[in-house]
């Protein structure tokens, strides 16, 4: 049975910042990296809106990890399969089951993030990996000099459209609303980019192809008229779904409060409704999800977890 003081589940920006701040505060910190160490930052080609940083999201995540390790945080290439709580009062602790064993912790920070929302239209699953993708930074280079459609109107869709425009024969961004919902500066750059065609008030209804994507059927959200747009690849940015599976499992008897979309509700100190359980980053209910807010969440969560652990130790000595 392995033990740690603070367990961070997830190694995106929020988890890495929490690991750094927790270890720097002198806590015994263990991070379960899971299948996607680095998180959403890995999809950002140029991280231009994080203060003081101008490199790629991948390099940013790597730098965060090195900092956390430098302060003493330990990383495990493992995923949390279930989470349980044992004991009461000062004897309370969390138990996390992994594929290769169990890990106990006095406090836990959930930083599992969110995953791309699916469109649930015909052809999406069929052509996944054959022209359908949710990550331009990962798969964009496979479609150099090809015709690309980007579905969505938020920051991620706009940033990806601009990155893809550097290598593609053409890029079309399709959004169901009458204006892009990205931050104003981000949206304006797309609208002014002559390499990008913008189709507003259209939504995809079907992805078509043979062994590979060759077109997308679009439907006007105003007239309901359908058109077919040729494409070699479709990059989908339809929002995020909370990775909240671990708190939904029956092993966790005390469950944190969720909002209507399944994101975990926290206080300003990142505490959940479950004592000793904290949440940071994209998994947390928030109106604004950015790399900079994820880093802030992680730092605050670690600070709060340290205070919780100190209080628990103080109660043990009384």
Question: What integer pLDDT is reported at residue 314 of this predicted model?
Answer: 67
Q: Looking at the predicted structure, is the pLDDT value of residue 317 above 60?
A: no
> How are strands ordered across the β-sheet holding 147-151?
132-133, 233-236, 147-151, 170-175, 196-200
Confidence (pTM): 0.82
Q: Looking at the predicted structure, is the pLDDT value of residue 237 above 80?
A: yes
Q: Between 260 and 38, where is the model more confident? A: 260
Q: Looking at the predicted structure, is the pLDDT value of residue 265 above 90?
A: yes
Q: Tens digit of pLDDT for each residue in 181-198?
A: 999 999 999 999 999 999
Question: What integer pLDDT is reported at residue 50 of this predicted model?
Answer: 87
The residue extents of the domains of the chain are 2-115+240-317, 118-236
In this prediction, residue 318 has a pLDDT band, given cuts at 50, 70 and 90, of low
In this prediction, residue 176 has a pLDDT band, given cuts at 50, 70 and 90, of very high
Q: Tens digit of pLDDT for each residue in 48-97?
A: 788 998 888 889 999 999 999 999 999 999 999 999 999 887 789 999 99
**Do the beta carbons of residue 13 and residue 297 sit within 8 Å?**
no
CATH topology of domain 2-115+240-317: FAD/NAD(P)-binding domain (3.50.50)
In the three-class reduction of DSSP (H, G, I as helix; E, B as strand; rest coil), residue 208 is classed as: strand
In this prediction, residue 232 has a pLDDT band, given cuts at 50, 70 and 90, of very high
* Residues in contact with 138: Cβ distance below 8 Å, sequence separation at least 6, in sequence order: 42, 43
Superfamily of domain 118-236: FAD/NAD(P)-binding domain (3.50.50.60)
The region of weakest confidence among 133-137, 167-171, 302-306 is 133-137
Q: What is the mean pLDDT of residues 15-19?
A: 97
Distance CA 60, CA 47 (A): 8
Distance CA 124, CA 138 (A): 18
Q: What is the mean pLDDT of residues 247-262?
A: 95
Phi, psi for 101 (deg, rounded to 5): 150, -165
In the three-class reduction of DSSP (H, G, I as helix; E, B as strand; rest coil), residue 151 is classed as: strand
Phi, psi for 177 (deg, rounded to 5): -100, 175
Beta strands at 101-110 and 132-133: parallel, antiparallel or unpaired: unpaired
Q: How many residues does the chain have?
A: 318
Is 118-236 in the same CATH topology as 2-115+240-317?
yes
């Amino acid at each position: 049975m392995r033990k740690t003081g603070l367990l961070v589940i997830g190694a995106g920006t929020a988890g890495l910042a929490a690991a750094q701040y927790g270890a720097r505060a002198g806590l015994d910190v263990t991070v379960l990296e899971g299948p996607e160490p680095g998180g959403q930052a890995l999809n950002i080609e140029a991280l231009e809106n994080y203060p003081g940083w101008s490199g790629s999201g991948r390099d940013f995540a790597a730098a965060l990890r090195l900092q956390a390790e430098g302060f003493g945080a330990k990383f495990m290439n493992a995923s949390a399969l279930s989470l349980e709580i044992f004991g009461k009062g000062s004897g309370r602790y969390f138990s996390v089951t992994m594929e290769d064993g169990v890990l106990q912790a006095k406090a836990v920070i959930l930083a599992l993030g969110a995953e791309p929302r699916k469109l649930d239209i015909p052809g999406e699953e069929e052509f996944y990996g054959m022209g359908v993708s949710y990550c331009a930074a990962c798969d964009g280079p496979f479609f150099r000099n090809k015709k690309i459609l980007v579905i969505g109107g938020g920051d991620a869709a706009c940033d990806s459209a601009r990155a893809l425009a550097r290598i593609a024969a053409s890029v079309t961004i399709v959004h169901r609303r009458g204006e892009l919902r990205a931050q104003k500066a981000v949206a304006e750059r797309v609208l002014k980019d002559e390499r990008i065609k913008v189709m507003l008030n259209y939504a995809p209804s079907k992805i078509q192809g043979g062994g590979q994507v060759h077109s997308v059927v679009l439907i006007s959200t105003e007239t309901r008229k359908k058109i077919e747009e040729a494409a070699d690849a479709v990059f989908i940015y339809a929002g995020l779904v909370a990775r909240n599976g671990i708190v939904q499992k029956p092993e966790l008897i005390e469950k944190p409060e969720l909002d209507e979309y399944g994101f975990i509700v926290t206080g300003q100190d990142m505490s959940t409704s479950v004592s000793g359980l904290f949440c940071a980053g994209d998994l947390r209910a928030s109106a604004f999800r950015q790399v900079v807010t994820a880093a802030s969440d992680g730092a605050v969560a670690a600070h709060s977890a340290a205070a919780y652990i100190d209080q628990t130790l103080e109660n043990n000595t009384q």
